[in-house]
Amino acid sequence: MSLVLKLRSERAELNTQLQELAKLEAGGTNLSAEQLTQFTELETQITALSAKISRAEIAERAAAAAAVPVDEGAAGIASPPAGRVEGPYGKPAAGAGMAQMVRLLAQAQGNQMYAAELAKQGGFDQGVQMALSTVTPGAGGVLVPENFSTEVIESLRPKSIVRKMGTRSLPLNNGNLTMPRISGNTAVTYIGTEEDIPVTGMTFADTQLSGKKAAALVPISNDLIRNAGVNPRVDQLVANDLFTSMGLSEDLHFIRSDGGSGKLPKGLRYWALPGNVIDAPATPTLAQIDLFLGGMMLRVEAANGDMAGCGWLMAPRTLRWLQSLRDGNGNKAYPEIETGYLKGYPVGLSNQIPTTLGAGGNESEIYFANFADMMIGEDMDLVIDFSKEASYKDAGGNVVSAFQRDQTLVRVIAKHDFGPRHVEVIVVATKVTWGAGM
C-alpha cells in the first residue's frame, strides 16, 4: 500500500470517531470533559495527517514525473485498461463494472474509501470510481448502484435457464407487484335484428409478487485478487462466478421451490394446477412417448396459451435419452434435439431439476410452459459483502474455511419473486424415469 493510501485510511478512521462525537452533540447530548478532550485530540491528529498527506502526494507526483513511461495498463502489459474489459465489437463486457467493484472491494476488504482510491490509481473507468466513492455502506454490505445491478440482471439471462427461456423481468415497486390477469373470457355472441346484446364480461384475478431475499456465496481465490494487476481477464472470471452462482440459485427456486412460509418464491412445479401435473409412462413405446409429449402441449393449447412463447425444461439425463431414441428404420426419433428443439419448441436443460425423486430415487420431471407468461419481479438493489474468515459449505456439504483456503468469500444478496400471469399454461410431467439406466 502506498504511503498516501495508508495515511488517508488512518485519517478516515479518525474522522469516523470525530463524526460520532459530533452527532452526539448535534442530537442534544452534552459532551463530557473526556469526550471534549478526545474531540480536540482527534482534530489535531486529523490536521497533522492532512499535512503529511499533502507532502506525501507532492513526493509521489515528483516520483511519477521522473519515471520512465511504460506501455502497460492497469490490467496488464499491452492489455486494455483495467476499467475496460472488452466484450464483442470492442464494447465493455456486460457486468464488468460490477465485477471490478467486487474485486476492488474484496481487495480492500470492504473498505470503500480504500477501494475507491485503488480504482483511481489503477485507471479504472470513471463509473467504477464514482460508484465506489458515492455508494453508502450499510450493515449488510455495500449497495450496488442501480446501473450496475441492471447490468447484472441482464447478464443473468444466459446463466439462468428460466430467464433464457423468455421469462419477463419487471421491477418491484417498494418490494411488491400486483398484476391483473384474465381468469374468464368475454362471451361473444351474434344477435339478430332488434335483439338485446347479452351482458357479458371478463373476470379477473391477481398475481401478486413480493421481494424474497436470495443470497449467493462466491469464493474468490486471493491469488486471483493479488494478481489482478497483471491479468486482463480477472474481472471476467469474477463476473462469470457471480452470475453462474446467482443463476443456479434462481433456477433452483423458480423451478421447484414450494414457496414455503412465504419466505421463498414459488416455482413452476407448485404454480401448476393439480390437473396439469401428470405422471409419465414408466416403460413407454416410442408412440406412447410421442403421444404423452403431445398431450402436454395440448393442455397449454386448450388453455388458449400463446404457443409462440412456449418451451421445455428437463434434466440433461432426460434429453439425452430422448436424443438416443430410434424409430423402426434406425433413424433418430427427434433429430431436432441436435438444434435445441423438441417437437418444434426450444428445450432448456437444468441440473436443478433433480433425477433422484420418488421412492426409488430415480425419478425426474419435464416442464412445458408458456414462458412469455412468466414474470420475475426484480428489486433493483443488490448488496455485496466480503469476508476472509467466514466458512461455507461446498456442493458436497463439506464445511470449507475461506481463511484456510486463502479465499475471499463474496456474498451477494438480491430480492425478487417469480410467478405466472396464468397458471393454466404450466404443465409438469412427474415420475419420469426415462434414461435412469444411462
Note the pLDDT tens digit of each residue in 94-148: 556 667 777 777 777 667 777 777 777 777 766 666 666 655 554 455 556 555 6
pLDDT of 72 > 70? The answer is no
Give 188's DSSP letter.
Answer: -
pLDDT of 416 > 50? The answer is yes
The pLDDT confidence band at residue 225, using thresholds 50, 70 and 90, is low
Please list, in sequence order, all residues whose beta carbon lies within 8 angstroms of the beta carbon of residue 58, skipping any fewer than 6 positions away: none
Q: Which residue has the higher pLDDT, 410 or 343?
A: 343
Please list, in sequence order, all residues whose beta carbon lies within 8 angstroms of the beta carbon of residue 419, skipping any fewer than 6 positions away: 207, 208, 209, 265, 266, 271, 374, 375, 377
Q: How far apart are CA 5 and CA 57, in angstroms?
A: 10
Structure confidence at residue 274 (pLDDT): 94
Most confident of 187-201, 216-230, 362-376: 362-376
Structure confidence at residue 438 (pLDDT): 73
pTM: 0.63
- Antiparallel, parallel or unpaired: β 310-314 and 345-349: parallel
Structure confidence at residue 107 (pLDDT): 72
Q: Taking the C-alpha atoms of 256, 260, 265 and 270 in order, what is their torsion angle to the nearest 10 degrees? A: 40
Cβ-based burial of 107 (10 A; exposed 0-12, middle 13-18, buried ≥19): buried
Q: How far apart are CA 410 and CA 216, in angstroms?
A: 8
For 248, the grid coordinates are 443456479
Cβ-based burial of 332 (10 A; exposed 0-12, middle 13-18, buried ≥19): middle
Most confident of 162-176, 256-270, 339-353, 378-392: 339-353
Region 426-431: mean pLDDT is 97
The pLDDT confidence band at residue 299, using thresholds 50, 70 and 90, is very high
Are 175 and 210 a contacting pair, CB within 8 Å? yes
Length of the chain measured in residues: 438
Region 382-405: mean pLDDT is 78
Q: How far apart are CA 134 and CA 414, in angstroms?
A: 20
Residue the block writes with cell 520512465: 68
Q: How far apart are CA 279 and CA 272, in angstroms?
A: 14
Q: How far apart are CA 377 and CA 179, in angstroms?
A: 10
Where is average pLDDT lowest: 13-17, 41-45, 129-133, 252-256?
A: 129-133
Q: How far apart are CA 72 and CA 70, in angstroms?
A: 6
Region 262-281: mean pLDDT is 92
Q: Which residue has the higher pLDDT, 321 or 394?
A: 321
Question: Where is 346: in which H helix or E strand?
Answer: strand 345-349
pLDDT of 53 > 90? The answer is no
Q: Which residue has the higher pLDDT, 312 or 413?
A: 312
Region 401-413: mean pLDDT is 80
Q: How far apart are CA 152 and CA 384, in angstroms?
A: 13
Structure confidence at residue 296 (pLDDT): 97
Structure confidence at residue 154 (pLDDT): 55
Structure confidence at residue 126 (pLDDT): 67
Structure confidence at residue 80 (pLDDT): 39
Where is average pLDDT lowest: 216-230, 279-293, 369-383?
A: 216-230
Region 164-183: mean pLDDT is 75
Give 220's DSSP letter.
Answer: E
Q: Which residue has the higher pLDDT, 101 or 250?
A: 250
Structure confidence at residue 345 (pLDDT): 96
pLDDT of 362 > 70? The answer is yes
Q: Which residues pair with 346 in a beta bridge?
A: 341
